[in-house]
Structure formats: structure tokens, C-alpha cells
Amino acid sequence: MTTIRDPVHGYVKLDEVAMDLVDTRDMQRLRWVKQLGLANLVYPGANHTRFEHSLGAYHLSGLLARHLEVSEEEALEIQAAALLHDVGHGPFSHATEKVLSAFLREEHEKVADRLKRGELGDALRDHGIRPHRIQMLIRGEAHLGQVVSGEVDVDRMDYLTRDAHYTGVAYGVIDHQRLMDTMVIRDGQLALEEGGVHAAESLLVSRLLMYPTVYFHHVSRIAQEMLGSGVRAMVEEGADPRKIRDMDDLELSAAMTGAEGYPGEIMGRIRMRRLFKRAVYVGRDLLESPGIVDRGREDRIAEEIADQAGIDPRYVLVDKPALPRIAEGNVSIAGRDGEKRPLREVSPLVTIMESAHLAAWRLGVYTTEENRERVKRAAMSHLQIGTCPVQHTLEDL
């Protein structure tokens, strides 16, 4: 047994199985992959990694497995899945996921190949752990998969608290212990007892505040879109997307710098924080025809705006986040009468927060400072945007 001091959870104990998994190349790579990608351009303290988060999820999964009184084999699988759930992340986490997924046709949760081969596969087999079971749990399949990837899971519990801690914002207060103490298995499904409703609401409130403040901060989004555009150019110029996915942050930074041309320029801009600016940044209420945005691909829309503005399409980026949904609203609440109802039917806060999330959604069109006005006019015309709010703020400096 090895004990590690974690700044969020205190002392985290790793058993022999966990240590053997942690010592593999796949897990050690996560030490060099930032949890929040490029958010440190906004929050300088946001330099924590996927490795730390994986240890936190592992710790919480062990506590929850003991509370649920699952079998020793099931507890072993749950903890292994929680520890390994992010091994499929590419460099800079979500910042490269969208573009790499488009080329590879798979999401970061699909890690079956990694679990079967190399050091990781050997470590799992040495301890009698079946890789396909770990893949199922990581994807949230079967009732115990909800512990790792469900409506209220150990992944969310850890990253919301950890991200708030390292960014310094005050929105990561979640009562983990109360949440886990009220979790039960009902009819083969993970559910919460009525006493856990307020703890679940605290998690929802944390997510509501963290998304616009941290995860969807416009500077983070701009940097993320720029990095994705640079990676896309590398792949189109012949780079292997699978090799890029296996890189860490340092390796990708070096590869982009060495590639020169557009990828090198983009990495240079990111490193010196000479980012693109917001030409348009609006909510759905200012889109006269939201269907134009909903149906169009970001790269296609960007090309059309660039053509109308008369500039190189590589210098127009369209950021169209998925419309928000609160999966936590579907978690079952087990009543004293034996009936189960989704949280959104028990808590009026869920409906309010779903509306608030939608109101915080923004469509972004980003470009260089010198092209800002031209792109703004072209984007407003092409996307049929009503009166555009003032874009210039102190945050643009």
C-alpha cells in the first residue's frame, strides 16, 4: 500500500493493483496532460493534470464501492476503471479531442485497444482484470458503470472540486460524502435516497457556475479552437492523428513548433498569448435563424464567412458548442414509498438550471485583430445575427 498526499482529498491510498497500473506508460503520460487544456491562459494556477484527477476519481470510487457493499471483484473493477477512465485523452485534454475524433472516428472514452496491449494490458491481466469489463465501466454500461460514468459519478465529483481549487474560483463546493452516503442500488440502477437531493443540487449548482466561468471562458475557447485548427492543419499536411493522440502536451507543442508554417504560427501565438479576438460572440436570442447554425459544420461556416470577408479561411474560427444538457437531472431518486423519480421531477432547481445553462450558451466567431471588423460584418450577415453587443472589454487586452 502506498499513500499519496492529494491537495483536494488529503491522503489517497493506492493498493498493489493501482500501483501497477499507475506505473504504466499510459498512466504516466497523463502527468504531462493538463486537466484544463489551455485554461491557464486565463487562470495561471490551472496547471493540474489528468494524472491527479485520475487518482482523485480512483479514491472516490473506492469510498463509494465500500459504501455500496459490492463484491471484492466488482470493487476492483470499479477502482481500475476510475483510475484508467482518462487514458484515452489526447494532449491538452478536450482542446484536441474534437479535431482528433473527427479523423479517428472515436471518442476518448473508447480505450479498449489500450487496455488490451502493452504494459497496461499486462498489468490488468496480471491481476485477473478483464479489459472488456473496464471498457464497459468507463463507458457507463451496466449499473456499476454509473459509478464511473453516470449522471452523478466520481468523475464529476472530483473534477468540479479539483478545477475550482486550482483555478481559484469559489464554485466547487460539493458535499461528496453526503452524496455517496445516500447512493443506493435499486432495481439494478444507481440511485439517490431522498436525503441526497440537496447534495445533488450542490453538484448541479457547481457545474452551472463553473461552465461559463472556467470551461467556457471565451479566452479558453479561443485558444482551444486555435490549437484544434493547428492540429487539423498538421494532419492535413500528413501527420498521423493516432500518433498525435498518443503525445502529451510538451510533445505536441514541440511537434507544432517544429512543423513551422501555420501550425508553428498557431503554437507561437498560444505560447505568447497573442490570441485571436472575438468578432462575434452571441447567444441564441440574437440568432434570427438558429437552424442555420445548428445544421452547419463549424469549418464550413468558417469558410463561408472568410470567403465573404475576403480573407484566408485559416484565420476565421467558428466555435459552436453543443447545446447544454443536464444529465444529472435524470438520476433516480428513491423515495420512501419505494417509487423512483428522476431528480428533475423532485427538484425545481433542475429546470431553472437547464434554462440558465441555455442562456449562457454562446456562438463565437474568432479572428485576428486586424480582420476583426471585416469578419464581424461578414459573420453577422451570413449567420443572420441581430444587433450584436459590444465585443470590446478589458478581457480583450
**C-alpha to C-alpha distance for 88 and 147, rounded to whole angstroms:** 19
Residues 22 and 157 in one domain: yes
Residues 285 and 163 in one domain: no
Domain count, the chain: 2
Residues 11 and 131 in one domain: yes
The set of cell numbers assigned to 262 is 501555420
CB of 30 closer than 8 Å to CB of 246: no
Residues 284 and 164 in one domain: no
pLDDT in tens, 45-86: 999 999 999 999 999 999 999 999 999 999 999 999 999 999
pLDDT in tens, 330-365: 888 888 777 888 888 888 888 888 888 888 889 999
Residue range 89-106: average pLDDT?
A: 89
Residue 40 lies in domain: 2-168
In a domain, 210, yes or no: no
**C-alpha to C-alpha distance for 117 and 396, rounded to whole angstroms:** 46
Residues 31 and 148 in one domain: yes
DSSP single-letter state for residue 156 = H
In a domain, 205, yes or no: no
In a domain, 121, yes or no: yes
CB of 220 closer than 8 Å to CB of 103: no
* Sequence-separated (6 or more) residues with CB below 8 Å from residue 295: none
Residue that finishes a domain, picked among 120, 145, 168: 168
pLDDT beyond 70 at 327: yes
Residue that finishes a domain, picked among 148, 168, 188: 168
In a domain, 391, yes or no: yes
In a domain, 340, yes or no: no
Lowest mean pLDDT among 145-154, 219-228, 387-396: 387-396
The CATH number for 56's domain is 1.10.3210.10
In a domain, 288, yes or no: yes
Residues 163 and 280 in one domain: no
**C-alpha to C-alpha distance for 232 and 252, rounded to whole angstroms:** 13
Residues 285 and 139 in one domain: no
**C-alpha to C-alpha distance for 11 and 159, rounded to whole angstroms:** 17
pTM, to two decimals: 0.91
Residues 12 and 151 in one domain: yes
State the angle between helix axes of 118-126 and 131-138 in degrees (0 to 180), rounded to the nearest 10: 110
In a domain, 32, yes or no: yes
Say how many Å lie between the first and final Cα of the chain, rounded.
Answer: 50
pLDDT, residue 394, reads: 43
Residue that finishes a domain, picked among 135, 168, 201: 168
